[in-house]
Structure 1
């Protein structure tokens, strides 16, 4: 899922920009939006759902003939993006989130220090959305395990599958001799992506293997967070389990990704990639 955020001061046209982008991108795929409303409450305390929530429910879901709305006690911007990706969105347009790491379009003059700005546009203007769409397509994908599973399920050859298997690599904390505080992964994107694609294509040539998807994260990853996803569809479980193991071994040995262990006693680089 490609993600872009539009930011700017009040009355610069952010909502109008988002709605126009939604219309533009709807021609290319499924679109989800996120709006940060940190000073608002979305459910009235006098409604039934508000009373459910205020009584202590961790999650409340309201269903009408047109909408399904879920209210949760664990809000986060990252979780919002993950839920859109899990739902199979191809694009996410965010209104706000100026402090996030996602690519941003700034409307009007903004004096604040903002990271990852890919375009600055005048406020309330006749914007060149085609150029913004091109810039959006160049951004890295927001990937979740469920989004990969849904992509595999959409493969026309899935009718030949007897199962879908997944592997999730996470940050191990207890390493017997030391305790990991976080990991840092560095990679040359183009080279690493080409290596992953080569592994994927070669694994799919094996008998009974229908689809293979691999995603390896980079940057800082905290304890117990996900590092790598492998999703494989195969005709039979024997083929599936063998392919999962072989794919993981190849990712660890062939993909140029470097791992740095950050521990309570010091930092060091690890030859084992994943």
Structure 2
């Protein structure tokens, strides 16, 4: 799934037009006022799922108790406020695109309307929210996919050989705050990679591992940018006939990713900052 922020005057209007222009299922996450009205910069979040621009579900939070209301073509939930990342992650397993309306501080690629200078990566800047969308669609399609463990598992379950599979094995690597109780706490890790080389190498590893007997699908994904302690970094997912080949292939997948893919890690602790490869 490709996930981007749309921010600036007319962001909601542009998001609606992009939802019509993008192929596949499109989810929209909006920042709404406390009274459920138009965006006002308040912290409450709503999300909608659209296929060909048609609303298929909404989420809004009002109380501390969680309630789901299910209809034939829509659903609602009330409960503790989700973060933007929570909402995007909920869309990832079965959507092709997610558009976050507002949220200029979010750590996602951004389409900016007007002259604002939000932090992070700006993939496109437009003067008119009612202007052409073709270039914006192309820019969104070129962003790095937003993946979660759940979205990768959902993807392999849709594989042609899924009915022959009796096992899905996964590995999740996360940011460890400290090795020992007395260590300085790691505040975050920052990852950089040679984009084309890293992506090509990961796809090659996936293809090679998937040729093993009894292995049907392999997916590798490594996040880049700043990742705070406690968050997930890397995923390996294997669809296989039986657990033995699934477990073995997961272990080989993460070992080969770490050994063969050009990804560089900066560690920021409470007392220092350093590139990990310079100390190895």
TM-score class normalised by the smaller sequence: 0.7 to 0.9
In the TM superposition, 1:36-185 aligns within 5 A as 36-41=31-36, 54=63, 56-57=64-65, 59-86=66-93, 88-107=94-113, 109-110=114-115, 112-115=116-119, 116-123=121-128, 125=130, 127-176=131-180, 178-179=183-184, 180-185=186-191
Which of 216, 220, 234 pairs up with 1:228? 234
> Quick one: distance in 2 between partners of 1:7 and 1:149?
31
Post-superposition CA distance 1:161-199 (Å, at most 9, x none):
111111001122231372433222221111111221121
Alignment RMSD? 2.5
TM-score (norm 2): 0.81
Structure 2 residue aligned with 1:4: 4
- In structure 2, do the counterparts of structure 1 residues 223 and 64 end up closer, same or farther at CA, with 3 Å as the change threshold? same
* Offset at residue 119 of structure 1 (A): 3.0
Aligned: 1:200 with 2:200: no
CA contact 1:53–1:60 (8 Å) conserved in 2: no
- More displaced, 148-157 or 113-122? 113-122
**Structure 2 counterpart SS, 1:131:** helix
- Whole-angstrom CA distance in 2 between matches of 1:119 and 1:19: 17
Deviations 1:190-223 (A, max 9, x none): 1111221121111111111100000011222222
Q: Which runs of 5+ in 2 are unaligned?
A: 38-43, 45-60
Query: TM-score normalised to the size of structure 1?
Result: 0.83
C-alpha distance 7-221 of structure 1, shift in aligned 2 (>3 A): closer
**Corresponding residue number in structure 2 for 1:258:** 264
Q: CA deviation at 1:90?
A: 0.2
Task: Label 1:8 to 1:184 Cα distance change in 2 as closer, same or farther (>3 A).
Answer: closer
Larger fraction in strand: 2
Structure 1: which 5+ residue stretches go unaligned? Answer: 44-51
Give the aligned partner of residue 12 of structure 2.
15
Q: How many pairs does the alignment contain?
A: 254
Distance, in Å, in 2 between the alignment partners of 1:124 and 1:153 is: 38
1:36 is paired with a residue whose SS is strand
Counterpart of 2:196?
190
Q: 1:34 aligns with which of 29, 39, 57?
A: 29
Find the aligned partners of 1:269 and 1:124 in 2 and give their Cα distance: 41
